[in-house]
């Protein structure tokens, strides 16, 4: 199978991007893979530490790997927002294709040092490594505290760490937005010209398509989406459950799976056409 690093190079040559979607259980995983299959898209399957705590590491890795084969889709398994090198090592041993070290809240030099250590750890596995530079608000953090990624810092960071992919702060935030975001897509272009790393847009839920398209045109290669999946799945269940006394969950869950599949199908089509 093609490495994610090679796939990012292909995307860079074509000026295109790939969707990276978080899964939480078999239902959301199958929704993502069905959408990828229907749109003939490659996709990155993301799990966070919370999902690993919920499912167990081996179940998370084996479930994703087996499902990729069953759906016959080009897909990679990625560890999203890890802050702990021990979890990263365990994920690599379990077969993850890609890991993110998030030391973005550390001072610049410390972020470099921690990221460099992860790059060295991942090298024997041939795994892709993503890091984050700048302030991208996490769930519950202030969205006002903007500190955008500076092109010169990005260059120095990538040169010092050798990281493959870089999450940049350009005005996006995790979770839904209180008001419409206004991405600094010109900044993406300036960062792209300064670094060879694949640029990543976190906080993809709730960003208007037109801004995502512009961000891709200016150099974003990976777009992360999580909140819209959780929200779509749970809201569908909330609507469906009062209408039925069915206890067979295999008859109720498919409605929520279908809803997530449809929303991701639209997003993949948009990303593919950008
Ligand atoms: P959203 O939850 O805002 O879609 O962000 C997802 C993300 O960036 C995961 O790393």
Q: Which residue out of 58, 80, 189, 209 is catalytically annotated?
A: 80
Ligand 1: distance of its center to the CA of 56 in Å?
Answer: 21
Read off the DSSP letter of residue 150.
Answer: P
Looking at every residue in the chain, the average pLDDT score rounds to: 96
User: pLDDT per residue over 241-254, tens digit each?
Assistant: 999 999 999 999 99
Ligand 1: distance of its center to the CA of 86 in Å?
Answer: 23
pLDDT, position 250: 96
Q: Is 123 exposed, middle or buried (0-12, 13-18, 19+ CB in 10 A)?
A: exposed
Q: How far is CA 40 from CA 36, 198, 242, 267, in A?
A: 6, 22, 35, 13
Q: Does the model's pTM come out above 0.95? A: yes
For the chain, the farthest-separated pair of C-alpha atoms sits apart, in whole angstroms, at 59
CB 270 within 8 A of CB 16: no
pLDDT, position 145: 64
User: pLDDT per residue over 200-221, tens digit each?
Assistant: 999 999 999 999 999 999 999 9
Ligand 1 closest atom vs CA 81: 10
Mutate to test the pocket of ligand 1, among 139, 174, 267 (most ligand atoms within 8 A of CB): 174
User: pLDDT per residue over 99-158, tens digit each?
Assistant: 999 999 999 999 999 999 999 999 999 999 999 999 888 887 777 767 899 999 999 999
Residue closest to 207 by CA, chosen among 221, 219, 224: 224
Asked if residue 186 has pLDDT above 80, the reply is yes
User: pLDDT per residue over 58-107, tens digit each?
Assistant: 999 999 999 999 999 999 999 999 999 999 999 999 999 999 999 999 99
List residues near ligand 1 (CB under 6 A). Answer: 22, 80-81, 174-175, 202-205, 224-228
CB 64 within 8 A of CB 36: no
User: Considering only CA atoms, which residue is closest to atom 8 of ligand 1?
Assistant: 202
- The whole-angstrom separation of Cα 43 and Cα 125 is 20
Q: Is 248 exposed, middle or buried (0-12, 13-18, 19+ CB in 10 A)?
A: exposed
Residue 133 pairs with which residues in a beta bridge?
A: 168
Ligand 1: distance of its center to the CA of 219 in Å?
Answer: 19
CB 189 within 8 A of CB 218: yes
237 vs 138, more confident: 237
pLDDT, position 147: 86
CATH of domain 4-273: 3.20.20.70
User: pLDDT per residue over 27-39, tens digit each?
Assistant: 999 999 999 999 9
Catalytic residue list contains 209? no
Q: Is 193 exposed, middle or buried (0-12, 13-18, 19+ CB in 10 A)?
A: exposed
């Amino acid at each position: 199978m093609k490495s994610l690093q090679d796939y990012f190079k292909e995307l860079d040559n074509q000026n295109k991007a790939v969707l990276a979607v978080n899964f939480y259980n078999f239902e959301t995983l199958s929704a993502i893979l069905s959408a990828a299959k229907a749109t003939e898209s490659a996709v990155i399957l993301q799990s966070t530490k919370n999902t690993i705590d919920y499912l167990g590491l081996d179940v998370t890795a084996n479930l994703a790997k087996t499902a990729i084969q069953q759906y016959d889709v080009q897909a990679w398994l990625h560890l999203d927002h890890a802050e702990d090198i021990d979890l990263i090592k365990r994920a690599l041993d379990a077969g993850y294709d890609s890991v993110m070290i998030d030391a973005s809240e550390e001072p610049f030099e410390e972020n470099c040092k921690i990221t460099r250590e992860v790059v060295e750890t991942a090298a024997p596995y041939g795994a892709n490594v993503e890091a984050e530079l700048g302030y991208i608000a996490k769930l519950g953090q202030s969205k006002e505290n903007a500190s955008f990624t500076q092109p010169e810092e990005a260059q120095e960071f990538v040169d010092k760490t050798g990281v493959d992919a870089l999450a940049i702060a350009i005005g996006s935030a995790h979770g839904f937005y209180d008001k419409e975001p206004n991405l600094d897509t010109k900044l993406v272009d300036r960062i792209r010209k300064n670094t060879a790393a694949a640029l990543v847009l976190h906080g993809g839920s709730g960003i208007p398509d037109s801004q995502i398209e512009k961000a891709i045109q200016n150099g974003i290669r990976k777009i992360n989406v999580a909140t819209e999946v959780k929200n779509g799945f749970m809201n569908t269940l909330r609507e469906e459950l009062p209408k039925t006394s069915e206890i067979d969950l295999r008859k109720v869950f498919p409605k929520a799976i279908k809803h997530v599949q449809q929303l991701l199908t639209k997003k993949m089509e948009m990303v593919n056409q950008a």
